[in-house]
Amino acid sequence: HTEMRPADGMVLVAAGPKLKKAADTDIRPTCTAGPVPDGKDPRIANPILTGLITCRNISMAEFADRLSTVLSDDFKTPVADGTGLTGRYDLQLSYTKDMRAANATPIVRPKAAAAAADAPDEASDPNGAISLMDAFQRQLGLKFEQQKRPTQVLVLDHIEETPTEN
């Protein structure tokens, strides 16, 4: 049977939010890995940014809920919303998926891209790389905290030590 038990989980919290209110609240909320249809992709100016999440007209509760799907390699358990923020937002988050490879490989970029990458709110590394957690904090003003919270688990009440015949 299943029951609720305390377990470690990630909670998304506000840390000086830098969120843009949704431009069009009549559209269906979306959150995808990649650019929006308008084609604006910050990875063009800085190729070391290999990850991109774009969300439109999304609440923080919906955003936290979708993170374990959109970023399934990084979040193995559901993320809970602890921001306390209401409203709907358009957001874009660009980051470097593999920081080890980014730090090992020097990147030669055009001068315009290098200047953009050196902006204080974008880069956490001289080559323009930024980790996922740093990107959340610097670009969105959000961070994660690990907390114990009720989680649905499968409980085995009894198991036979030796198998029975079929």
Residue 76, C-beta contacts closer than 8 angstroms, at least 6 positions apart? 68
The pTM of the full predicted model, rounded to 2 decimals, is 0.69
Residue type, 97: K
Whether 109 shows a pLDDT value over 50: the answer reads no
pLDDT 10s digits, 3-38: 999 988 889 999 988 999 998 888 899 888 877 666
Mean pLDDT across the stretch 42-63? 85
User: What was the pLDDT predicted at 28?
Assistant: 92
pLDDT 10s digits, 126-164: 567 888 899 999 999 999 998 888 888 899 998 888 877
